[in-house]
Structure formats: structure tokens, C-alpha cells
Amino acid sequence: MNERQSAWQRILDQPPLWHYSGVLGNDVATTSFHRLDTELAWERPTLSLYGRQHVIPRQQVWMGDSQTTYRYSGRDFSPVPWHPIVETIKYRIETLLASSGFAPCTFNSVLLNRYDSGDDRMGWHSDDEPELGQDPVVAALSLGAERPLRMRWKDRRTAPFNIWLPHDGLLLMGPGTQRWLQHALLPRRIPGLRISLTFRRVQSPIIPDDNRD
């Protein structure tokens, strides 16, 4: 593994959990943030959770290569084609990971999440859907308001902890992260819009339901 620049911060060794500050540079990150906010067709779908229908407490767009259909909580999501800004960000992250000595990753899809305010949220889950394969790598870029991602071990070996996600920061969740940990973006009294882009690689087209809310 290459020497990592000081912009990388190791959060956990096993599973590998890293944060990188300043992925795009502040100006590009800020322009990308505003353009994604206004140019994407954000949706607030209704999902089935524990047998009840409810509207998700955030907005989202599922984007990627055409075969990357994704299913959770009783719904299929067909990807919208790559937006040029998102595709540029994807290449930037892939290049950054390769040049930092991580195993090469090629992402073919991304879930974009839009949190209008601190009330918008995502419940406890792991990104462990079978179509992502065993021990997927997920790389999440944050834009806009800084929020903490709450992490907890599935076996409760230590207390839950926060990872603060600043504008233009990348959280790299390496192999094993989804197997051992869950994460959530809990409601917080933090004003301001936040957008996250969670890049993934879909290996097979369809997955069984989970109970993400």
C-alpha cells in the first residue's frame, strides 16, 4: 500500500474505514453541490417498511449503468443515466483510491441522498444487499451541511460512534464494514441542505427486501 497523504484519516483499521478531506477542492465541490441540487430529478418514494407504507424522510436519486437495478423495501429502482458532474466525481474518486494504494474500485452506480434540513434522515442499516457482492466497498462523498454519520457494531463490542462528514469529504467504507457495522444519519438540529453520493458496484441485478427507512 502506498504512503497516504495527510488528507487521509484512518478511522478504523479492521474493517478499513477511512476519511479523505478535499476531494474536489472547495470551489468545484460547491458548484457541484448547487448544480446537483437544482439539476437532478429528486424523488421522495414511498416504501414498505414492516408491512406499512411510508414516505422516506429524505430525497434520493438512483443513478448508474443501465443494468444496475436496485431493490429494497418492496420497490425496484431503475437507474437514471449518469449526470456528467456525477460521472466526473466518480472518476475522481476512483483515481484518488487507486493513487492512494487502495485496491482498484470501479463503481457502476450511486445512490444520491438529499437532506433538506437536520430533520431529514436515514435509519440504521448496512449496505449489504446481496447484489453488491460479499464485502462491498462503498465510497460516500458529502456536500453541503456537515452532519455526523452514526456507526454501531452489530455485535455491540464497543459504543456507537460518530464520524463527522464535512463538505467535500469522502468516507471510504472498505471490505467488512457492511458485515460488521451499521450506520445511520440521525435527525440533528443542524440547519442546511446536505447531499451525499454513495458510490457502489452492483454485481447482480436484483436483491431481496430489507427494512431501511
Grid-cell match 434522515, residue found: 121
122: β partners: 185
Rounded distance between C-alpha atoms, residue 89 and residue 97, angstroms: 12
Residue whose C-alpha cell is 458485515 = 179
Name the minimum Å distance from CB 72 to ligand AKG: 10
Nearer to ligand AKG, 24 or 149 (CB): 149
Q: How far apart are CA 69 and CA 63, in angstroms?
A: 9
Residue 44 contacts residue 85 (beta carbons within 8 Å):
no
Q: Which stretches of the chain bind ligand AKG, using CB under 6 A? A: 111, 113, 122, 127, 140, 149, 165, 183, 185, 196, 198
Length of the chain: 213
Q: Give strand pairing partners of 169.
A: 21, 142
**Which of residues 101 and 179 has its CB atom nearest to ligand AKG in the complex?**
179
CB of 25 to ligand AKG, least distance (A): 20
CB of 82 vs ligand AKG, minimal distance in Å: 17
**Beta carbon of residue 196, minimum distance to ligand AKG (angstroms, whole number):** 3
- Closer CB to ligand AKG, 97 or 120, in the complex: 120
| Residue of this chain nearest to ligand AKG (CB atom) | 196
